[in-house]
Amino acid sequence: MAQFEEYQRPPEPPSGSTPIKATRFRRAATLCAVFLVSRVRKRFGSVLFLTSSMCVKHGDLVNLSEAASMEFVRQHTSVPVPKVYCAFERQGQTYIVMERIKGEMLAIGWHERSEESKAAILRQLSSMVKQIRGIGSPHGMAVASVDGGSLYDERLPGLGVRYPEQTPFRFGPFPDTQAFHRWLRRPTYESNEHYDPEVNEMIAMHERKDFGVPVFTHGDLSSLNILVRGEKVVGIVDWETAGWYPAYWEYTTASQVNFRNTFWAGYIDRFLEPRPVDLKMERIRLKWFGDT
């Protein structure tokens, strides 16, 4: 019988982020807590709730850049994000111990809210997004993680489990937006008369020089990642896709609503600056290159 080698995922490019508050005691306490609590509680995705006020996100797809992004936003804005108590790597797994914010996902009960209640929440989100986008990038024109390293977004082409041998799950960094765009549409780098006119239109839009300096971006502002208590936004969570991206990226990624979040498409223009030209560009890319 033929022998097959076990698949080994390619080494991932570093995010540039380092452990946070990872004393020997905190590392040991985290590993012990995960071992004990996981026996009696289920995980929600990669998150395990340790107590009513603390949780840990861990796994081989979790990265220190998520913890670094939360700390960065916390230091530079008043946007409510989970406090990071400890973040470290061990044996191919990353552990992020953080605050468990008490609140409900915005999606819950949204349709029962009055228009005044919805407007109050959307105004808060608009203000928070402006704060996040107003932070100056220390990495110039680079499209990169918070610390200048690689990025993560499982929705991007070639990064899912369908083609694991082709690319690691992280990507970048890129020296500028045009390099990022060329990677997004690989291997179609230049326009060609044999391509569909729509593809050539997208390439021309990708190669524009007016994108400006990348801005800090959450990358998944779904109603499922926004926590509220009453009419107050008390938390924005799931910063795994965060980084320095072209200014349109927050709007176009938020517009990619999933089946649990379809209603949200009708509200995005009320807290993010509408970018119809860039949305058209992204929809062409998704049509022709979105293979996840």
122-143, pLDDT tens digit by residue? 999 999 999 999 999 999 999 9
Instruction: Grade residue 158 by pLDDT with cuts at 50, 70 and 90.
Output: low
pLDDT on residue 2: 34
Amino acid 139: pLDDT: 97
Query: What pLDDT sits at residue 260?
Result: 80
Residues ≥6 apart with Cβ < 8 Å to 42 = none
Cα separation values, 73 from 136, 180, 211, 237, Å: 12, 23, 23, 11
CA angle 188, 189, 195 (to 5 degrees): 50
Give alpha helix (H) positions in the chain: 24-37, 64-76, 115-133, 177-184, 197-206, 249-254, 276-289
Length of the chain (residues) = 292
| Model confidence pLDDT, tens digit, residues 205-219 | 999 999 999 999 999
Quick one: average pLDDT of 15-36? 95
DSSP symbol at 255: T
DSSP per-residue codes, 79-130? ---PPEEEEEEETTEEEEEEE----EETTTTGGGS-HHHHHHHHHHHHHHHH
Say if residue 231's pLDDT is above 70: yes
Q: What angle do CA 180, 72, 179 make, to 5 degrees?
A: 5
Domains along the sequence of the chain with CATH: 24-99 (3.30.200), 104-289 (3.90.1200)
